[in-house]
Amino acid sequence: MSGQDESQGLPAAPDPAAVAGRERLTERVERTGMFGTGTTGDTSGYGGLQVRRAPRLPSPRPYGSYFDEMADALAASLEATGTSFDKAVEQVVVANGDLTFYVRREHLLAVAARLRDDPALAFEMCLGVSGVHYPSEAGQELHAVYHLLSISRNRRLRVEVTAPDADPHIPSLLDIYPTCDFHERETWDFFGIIFDGRPALTRIEMPDDWRGHPQRKDYPLGGIPVEYRGATIPPPDERRSYE
């Protein structure tokens, strides 16, 4: 609570929850409604919902845990191959106990090779790649997220790469991490990210003749009637809409 501290006659300290709430309201609105769609009516009843997202800021040193050691080891490894860490890694973020390197896509292959082959890093396995779509991030709308595991050192790392909607190309890591094979196809299928330099970038979930990429935020909610135990459920654009 805020107001007067009756015991001291001084203003009470601001309520941390109230301060956090006011700060939250200054953040950018990431989407409105439950699903963020703008192509069909919001049928969830949450059309007035505003989802806010804090800007992504780089984390200061020290990062904590083994994260500083990893960042230094990658920097030294890249320097040995003639690549600057600052040129290859756009940002380093520590959040929720995870370390994330935001890597520029033109340097992804070099960074991934050093992460795998340098004994000081030894990230032998990539657990896969997934996609994210942020329409509000102009020029960086598409994100590919890689989760790496060092079995020998029992360490984990996230690598994130961005691409614009207008040029959705990211180099394939299939030759470095073969486990990315089906995951790259799935990310292409659902988000439309084109992984260059790999064979057979074909759909893996949706039919081959499917149009569009259904997990993008700008993809329509529906339009295909669904039958369930004899009852026909209308597509979202024909259901009752809450405005």
pLDDT in tens, 179-195: 999 999 999 999 999 99
pLDDT of 20 reads 73
pLDDT of 129 reads 98
pLDDT of 177 reads 98
Two tokens, residue 62: 């020290």
Between CA 115 and CA 237 the distance in angstroms is 47
pLDDT band for 1, please (50, 70, 90 cuts): very low
Give yes or no for residue 146 having a pLDDT over 80: yes
pTM of the model: 0.76
pLDDT of 16 reads 80
pLDDT band for 135, please (50, 70, 90 cuts): confident
For a pLDDT cut of 90, what percent of the chain falls above it?
A: 60
| DSSP β-bridge partners for residue 162 | 143
119-134: average pLDDT = 96
pLDDT of 68 reads 97
How many CB atoms sit inside 10 A of residue 54's CB?
A: 12
- Average pLDDT of the chain to the nearest whole number: 86
Tell me which residue of 180, 198, 65, 177 sits closest to 116, measured CA to CA: 177
Give yes or no for residue 93 having a pLDDT over 90: yes
210-234: average pLDDT = 73
Q: Which of 50-59, 80-89, 130-139, 144-153 has the lowest mean pLDDT?
A: 50-59
200-206: average pLDDT = 92
Sign of CA dihedral 134, 138, 141, 145: negative
pLDDT of 219 reads 84
Two tokens, residue 166: 């207008």
Q: What are phi and psi of 173, to 5 degrees?
A: -100, 15
Give yes or no for residue 200 having a pLDDT over 80: yes
